[in-house]
Amino acid sequence: MKRLRTNLLLPAALAAACMLSAAPAMSEDSVSLPNLSYRTGPFAATGIPLMNGQRDYMTMLNERDGGVNGVKLGYEECETGYSTEKGVECYEKTKATGIITQPWSTGITLQVLPKSNVDKIPILAPGYGFSPMADGKVFHWAFNMPASYWDGASMILKNISDGNLDNLKGKKIVLLHLDHPYGKEPIPLLEVLAEKHGFTLLPIPVGLKEMQNQSAQWLQIRREKPDFVVMWGWGAMNAGALTEAAKTKFPMDKFVGIWWSGHDGDMASVGEAGKGYRSISWSVPVSDSPVMQDIKKYVLDPKKTEIGEGEFDWVFYQRGVLISMFTVEGIKAAQEHFDTKVVTAEQLRWGLENLKIDDAKLAEIGMTGMIAPFSTSCANHAGHAGGWMLEWDGAKFVKVSDLLQADESVIEPLVEAEAKKYAEANAPWPINEDCKM
Amino acid sequence: MLYRTAGQFKTSYAADHALFPVRQDAWLLGVILLFAFVIFPLTASEFTFKALLTPVLVYSLAALGLNILTGYAGQLSLGTGAFMGVGAYACFKLITIFPEMNVLVAILASGFFSAAVGVAFGLPSLRIKGFYLAIATLAAQFFLVWLFEKWAWLCNYSSSGSIQVPTVEMFGTPVFGPNALAIVQYYFVLGVVALITIAAINITRGRIGRMWKAVRDMDIAAELVGINLMKAKLSAFAVSSYVVGVAGALFVFLWRGAAEPVAFDIALSFRVLFIAIIGGLGSVLGNFLGAILIVALPVILNTLPATFGIPISSAMVEHLNTMIVGALIIAILVIEPHGLARFWQIIREKLIMWPFPH
Amino acid sequence: MDFLNSVFVKPFADMVAAPDFLLQVLWEGLVAGVLYALIALGFVLIYKSSRIFNFAQGIMVVFAALTLVGLHEKGVPALLALPLTLLVMYLLAVAVERVVLRPLINQPDMILFMATIGITLFLIGFGEIIFGGENKVMITEALYIPTGSFEFEPFGGFLLIEQKDLTAVVGAGVLVAVLLLFLNKSRIGRAIRALGDDHQAALSVGISLSTIWVIVWFIAGVIALATGIVWGARAGVSFALEVIAYKALPVLMLGGLESVTGAIVGGLAIGILEKLFEIYWGQPLLGGNTESWFAFVLALIVLLFRPQGLFGERIIERV
């Protein structure tokens, strides 16, 4: 009965929360922060904890501080089910009032990207979307902080090569990826690196319909005998890959995933067999940090919202909290700079472009150790924060590496070239000429 | 009262076979066109254009294409999504290879590519029938989507593997791309859809249309009275795929703005099939009614809770929406298996009789 | 020349060079084939008795598996959850018959097919409200399905056979045998086949259409549950499982819509051939992921020669 109750209570609880925040919002100042969520569809399992974390951080701020400097945070979800078609609908629906848009899927991001220039709404795609979006001069309105997929790929390679990519010479690396724009993201960078450092790259695609039945892919891996398998997986694909890896006795310490492949919920079905599997992550769950404790105190304990059992400690739930933090810090920066309370979309864009997330800031908002310090600028929209390796110990993810930094000297020219290519293909494309960095 | 036909006499066969044998039908259509061409554009918001009007038109056109094949020629196809994809990719290649090409020409020309692919995949229909043919068209569906994914030339080697619509102008106004106004795009789509609909009405009423219907009702009998089956079936595939391809080009270039291969997945094929069947097979009007129900209804349902202040999470709305659409499909099929178009016919008959039924 | 070599010579040379790997590929193909055959069987049974092309078979698999896992999560012991799930599938069969099939008797095939898609959508929405969208783990151990694996070393290589796959193959074999026995020997089974041959003749000798339909949909539900357990044990239970319905379609084309034998032979053939093609031709030559269309294209080619599938009833047309 529990599941049923949760699902019936959840909307009711949400409703109560909405009423609480919406009713006074009429009289008070508030900002509308839409999120194109996906709590349904084939990727729902990964979406739900992320959305819950995002929602709960905002709810906590509204409960604890009455919003940000007296402005209530109007967090709204528009459900897309990860479908690009619903994405258009949701974007159009929320763009009139929203001061930000969070498209979530790479497909929706690509669709919204050109429109954001015209509609003047910042796109926040934390750790996903289109890697060249890091170039703030070309992608004036898009942000993919704290790190792009190329940063992630670079960090992974650095870690598996013990810090020196030349150690990979003559090795074979398999990229097991979803056959979808998202899965293909790292390929351009990996190809460049493979040529430079002399390793072989073999991309193995997994079709959307084959996510749960990857025996062909793992047979190929068995035949190719790669030294490492790097995974760009999503939703049901992660669990499918880990099950097959465990079955074919592929050594788990040679198997590394991107941050979206390190989900506690996916690992649960693998359990002990997945021990030793690692995933790079720009976020680390710290359940006893002040911010998490406040969420517990102000949101979860009074049953303002409900989350699944054990979800509180999950990587993805706490990553959702961090994602909302970017928006909130952007609002704070904009409020200060423009000396206003209710920020507009354009002001928020400035705020997101001038984020300074340093250790003092993290301590102030109670997130010490949950994310590496980073800052953004008009040229750098990714922040290029570092990340850590998280290892599955059979029951949860634990941090097993020092802070890893991506090798920007390789990534930067590639970002510039790809951004230019994009701008040319979509000419006339406005370039931010004011940015002198 | 309103629909009284008394006094409208037909004195020749031509008059009896006219498009609007009843004057009121013409008036009604006039009112609808007035709404479509004048009143909606004057009143609609950008959201209404982008989420309701344009998609309804695009889907109606796709369903019309499918309806020509399935409703008129009786060949069941589940590959509509992939044929839309062929149209979209063809249009993308056309405008990137020939940037100075007029956009209207590019859109209309892209249909020829999908028509050619359609005929190729239509060849098995000469031997395979019924559900077997339906599953055979699935081969086209899955193979083509796989090809879009693998053949990087199609998307100009873009690193994301998806097509992005550049800004293209026609007579100085942007029509494609992010800078185009929603109202311009709406008028463009409306124009193309109107044009093709008129053509489709006339084709289906003419010699070819009657040939298709004969094949649909019983192909062996049709062959016996001298209809060339190969010509009939392949022409149906060609015309249908042409219309579907144009719809696919409109789908990406005037509505979505970008598309990855998965956008042309089997789900799209089913969606178009729903529209054609709920609307009514073998009817032109039905496609529009079906599209309004299948495309617009969920959008409207989505906005309802917020409008009435009913507190409900967006995920819940989505679940309920899926359930409601499923239940509606069953309900409509149970009440009137011939679709919404037949509903309208019944209403019209009643109106003609009213207020003195037999 | 190089090209011809890579298409016609190299794959076979690879097969011979690594026979243990070939055996592994064949085994994986066989297991996948058994699952395809099971789903196809669900389709065939319903098609045979009511001429309905039941697209909802895929979602029934998900629904059955979710009910089983959901009940177990709520504290029902696994061995009790199993019959309870069967009860739910029975109720579903009754509901489908009452609400959808009965009012649609005598409608064209196309309409009935669409109605089953309506059922699919309804069940997706309904299931997500009740069970939520999270991934669930199949209760393999609670159902006493062994989870270890056997390792062999043929030809100096190694071959790995998972016990749950073995269980699946054996279980499916038993299920099919029982089903065939039931269809051929029992009273109800004969009634089902009679309905398949001619509705009116069957009605006139006193066979109740609605009872048989409920029974057939229930059997399809049982098959769905079996498929759900087996597939869920391999890859977890979630709505993404629904796509396996598409996997059964080429099997039906190949085997013929009305033939139980066809479903089994077609399923095994497609499972094995698509794996062989993907490993030895698809991945090296075509960039991989050919499993999404190979089966359809294969079936299409077969249909060009035999329009009714390998085991389908000969299509006789009269004017």
The domain that holds A254 is classified in CATH as 3.40.50.2300
How many B×C Cβ pairs under 8 Å? 132
Q: How far apart (Å, rounded) are the C-alpha atoms in residues A32 and A75?
A: 6
Instruction: Choose the closest CB to B330 out of C113, C115, C124.
Output: C115
pLDDT band at B358 (very low <50, low <70, confident <90, very high): low
Other beta carbons less than 10 A from residue C304's beta carbon:
14
Cα–Cα nearest to C287, from B149, B86, B197: B149
What is the Cβ-side half-sphere exposure of residue C186, based on CA atoms within 13 angstroms?
Answer: 10
Query: Per the domain annotation, does A307 fall within a domain?
Result: yes
Query: Per the domain annotation, does B213 fall within a domain?
Result: yes
pLDDT band at A112 (very low <50, low <70, confident <90, very high): confident
Neighbours of chain B (3+ CB pairs under 8 A): A, C
Tell me the chain B residues in contact with residue A185 when contact means C-beta distances shorter than 8 Å. Answer: 159-160
Pair (A375, A406) in one structural domain: no
Pair (A345, A241) in one structural domain: no
pLDDT at A231 over 90: yes
Which pLDDT value is given to residue A28? 64
Q: What is the pLDDT of residues B180-218, one digit of tens each?
A: 888 889 999 999 999 999 999 999 988 999 999 999 988
Q: Where are the domains of chain C?
A: 2-46+55-247
Where do we find the tokens 């291969």?
A: B261
For A389-417, b where at least 16 C-beta lie within 10 A, e where not — what string? Answer: bbbbeeeebeeeeeebbbbbebbeebbbe
Other beta carbons less than 10 A from residue A69's beta carbon:
14
Q: How far apart (Å, rounded) are the C-alpha atoms in residues A111 and B163?
A: 9
Pair (A215, A274) in one structural domain: yes
pLDDT at A6 over 60: no
Asked if B241 and B119 touch (Cβ cutoff 8 Å), the reply is yes
Pair (A202, A273) in one structural domain: yes
Asked if B291 and B59 touch (Cβ cutoff 8 Å), the reply is yes
Query: Most B CBs within 10 Å: which of A39, A43, A48, A90, as the mutation test of the B interface?
Result: A39
Query: Per the domain annotation, does B221 fall within a domain?
Result: yes
Instruction: Choose the closest CB to A37 out of B45, B255, B314.
Output: B314
Cα–Cα nearest to C32, from C237, C253, C268: C268
Interface of B with C in 194-253 (CB under 8 A): 218, 220-221, 224
Q: Please name the residue of chain B whose CA is at the shortest distance from the CA of residue C303.
A: B128
Q: How far apart (Å, rounded) are the C-alpha atoms in residues C118 and B92?
A: 34
Tell me the chain C residues in contact with residue B302 when contact means C-beta distances shorter than 8 Å. Answer: none
Q: What is the pLDDT of residues C229-249, one digit of tens each?
A: 888 887 777 777 777 778 788
Query: Per the domain annotation, does A430 fall within a domain?
Result: no
| Domain that includes residue A185, residue range | 150-284+389-413
Where do we find the tokens 């959808």?
A: C100
Q: What is the pLDDT of residues B21-63, one digit of tens each?
A: 778 888 888 888 888 888 888 888 888 888 889 999 999 999 9
Q: What is the pLDDT of residues C173-215, one digit of tens each?
A: 898 889 889 888 888 888 888 887 777 888 888 888 888 888 9
* C240 with A42: Cβ contact below 8 A: yes
Tell me the chain A residues in contact with residue C129 when contact means C-beta distances shorter than 8 Å. Answer: 7
**Min Cα–Cα distance to chain A from B37, Å:** 22
Mean pLDDT on B83-103 = 91
- Secondary structure class of A71 (helix, strand, coil): strand
Q: Which of A92-101, A201-210, B200-209 ranks highest by mean pLDDT?
A: B200-209
Pair (A16, A129) in one structural domain: yes
Interface check C202 vs B, CB under 8 A? no
Asked if A138 and A431 touch (Cβ cutoff 8 Å), the reply is yes
Q: What is the pLDDT of residues C25-83, one digit of tens each?
A: 898 899 888 888 888 888 888 888 877 888 888 888 888 999 998 888 888 888 888 99
Q: What is the pLDDT of residues A156-170, one digit of tens each?
A: 999 988 888 888 888
Neighbours of chain A (3+ CB pairs under 8 A): B, C
Query: Most C CBs within 10 Å: which of B137, B142, B302, as the mutation test of the C interface?
Result: B142
Q: How far apart (Å, rounded) are the C-alpha atoms in residues B293 and B279?
A: 9
Query: Per the domain annotation, does B281 fall within a domain?
Result: yes
Q: Which of A34-43, A230-239, C263-272 ranks highest by mean pLDDT?
A: C263-272
Q: How far apart (Å, rounded) are the C-alpha atoms in residues A90 and A78?
A: 6
State the DSSP H helix or E strand holding residue B43, giving kind and residue range, or none if neither.
helix B40-43
Which pLDDT value is given to residue B90? 94
Pair (A260, A294) in one structural domain: no
- Specify the number of domains making up chain B: 1
Tell me the chain C residues in contact with residue A11 when contact means C-beta distances shorter than 8 Å. Answer: none
pLDDT at B350 over 50: yes
Instruction: Choose the closest CB to A243 out of C132, C235, C292.
Output: C235
Query: Per the domain annotation, does B21 fall within a domain?
Result: no
Instruction: Choose the closest CB to B160 out of A106, A117, A207.
Output: A106
Tell me the chain C residues in contact with residue B327 when contact means C-beta distances shorter than 8 Å. Answer: 118, 122
What is the Cβ-side half-sphere exposure of residue A334, based on CA atoms within 13 angstroms?
Answer: 23
Q: Please name the residue of chain C whose CA is at the shortest distance from the CA of residue B142.
A: C293
Backbone angles phi, psi at A301, to 5 degrees: -65, -45
What is the Cβ-side half-sphere exposure of residue B137, based on CA atoms within 13 angstroms?
Answer: 29
* B263 with A106: Cβ contact below 8 A: no
pLDDT at A23 over 60: no
Tell me the chain B residues in contact with residue C316 when contact means C-beta distances shorter than 8 Å. Answer: none
Name the token pair of C263.
Answer: 């479903």
Query: Per the domain annotation, does A26 fall within a domain?
Result: yes
Asked if A324 and A74 touch (Cβ cutoff 8 Å), the reply is no
Tell me the chain C residues in contact with residue A217 when contact means C-beta distances shorter than 8 Å. Answer: 288
Percent of chain B scored above 70 by pLDDT? 99
Pair (A166, A276) in one structural domain: yes
pLDDT at B356 over 80: no
The one-letter amino acid at C83: P
Which pLDDT value is given to residue C291? 82
Q: What is the pLDDT of residues A272-322, one digit of tens each?
A: 888 889 999 999 999 999 999 999 999 988 888 888 888 899 999 999 999
Pair (A275, A183) in one structural domain: yes
Q: Please name the residue of chain A whose CA is at the shortest distance from the CA of residue B47.
A: A92
Query: Per the domain annotation, does B25 fall within a domain?
Result: no
- Specify the number of domains making up chain A: 2
State the DSSP H helix or E strand holding residue A49, giving kind and residue range, or none if neither.
helix A44-65
Torsion of CA C121, C125, C131, C134, to 10 degrees: 90
Report chain A's C-alpha Rg in angstroms: 21
Q: What is the pLDDT of residues A342-375, one digit of tens each?
A: 899 999 999 999 888 889 999 999 888 899 999 9
Name the token pair of C76.
Answer: 């029902």
pLDDT band at A13 (very low <50, low <70, confident <90, very high): very low
Asked if C66 and C237 touch (Cβ cutoff 8 Å), the reply is yes
* C275 with A216: Cβ contact below 8 A: yes
pLDDT band at A129 (very low <50, low <70, confident <90, very high): confident
Tell me what the pLDDT averaged over chain A comes to: 85
Instruction: Choose the closest CB to A219 out of C28, C31, C235.
Output: C28
CB within 8 A of C7, min separation 6: which ones? C281, C285
Percent of chain A scored above 90 by pLDDT? 28
pLDDT band at C319 (very low <50, low <70, confident <90, very high): low
Where do we find the tokens 């309370």?
A: A341
Tell me what the pLDDT averaged over chain B comes to: 87
Interface of C with B in 15-44 (CB under 8 A): none
Other beta carbons less than 10 A from residue A381's beta carbon:
30
* A84 with B177: Cβ contact below 8 A: no
Q: What is the pLDDT of residues C118-158, one digit of tens each?
A: 898 899 888 888 887 677 777 777 777 777 778 777 777 77
Give the CATH number for residue B263. Answer: 1.10.3470
Chain C contacts to A (CB-CB under 8 A): 18, 21, 24-25, 28, 31-32, 70, 73-74, 128-137, 149, 160, 162, 231, 234-236, 238-241, 243-244, 246, 275, 278-279, 283, 287-289, 291-292
Query: Per the domain annotation, does B331 fall within a domain?
Result: yes
Tell me the chain C residues in contact with residue B262 when contact means C-beta distances shorter than 8 Å. Answer: none
Burial class (CB in 10 A: 0-12, 13-18, 19+), C150: exposed
Tell me the chain B residues in contact with residue C126 when contact means C-beta distances shorter than 8 Å. Answer: 319, 323
What is the separation of C-alpha B240 from the centre of its chain, rounded to a whole number of angstroms? 10
CB within 8 A of A315, min separation 6: which ones? A262, A263, A264, A281, A283, A284, A285, A390, A397
Q: Which is more confident, A11 or A430?
A: A430
State the DSSP H helix or E strand holding residue C34, giving kind and residue range, or none if neither.
helix C19-50
Asked if A120 and A346 touch (Cβ cutoff 8 Å), the reply is yes
Query: Per the domain annotation, does A396 fall within a domain?
Result: yes
Tell me the chain C residues in contact with residue A176 when contact means C-beta distances shorter than 8 Å. Answer: none
CB within 8 A of B248, min separation 6: which ones? B62, B83, B84, B85, B86, B87, B88, B91, B110, B114, B264
Q: What is the pLDDT of residues B110-162, one digit of tens each?
A: 999 999 999 999 888 888 888 788 877 888 999 999 999 888 888 888 777 78
DSSP A286-348: -TTSHHHHHHIIIIITTTSS---TTGGG-HHHHHHHHHHHHHHHHHHHHHHHHT-SS--HHHH
**Min Cα–Cα distance to chain B from A428, Å:** 7
Cα–Cα distances (Å) from A44 to A40, A82, A234, A264, A279, in that order, read 5, 8, 10, 14, 20
Q: How far apart (Å, rounded) are the C-alpha atoms in residues C169 and C175?
A: 10
Which pLDDT value is given to residue C136? 77
Instruction: Give me the sign of the Cα torsion angle B11, B15, B16, B20.
Output: negative
Which pLDDT value is given to residue A22? 41
**Min Cα–Cα distance to chain A from C78, Å:** 16
How many A×B Cβ pairs under 8 Å? 126
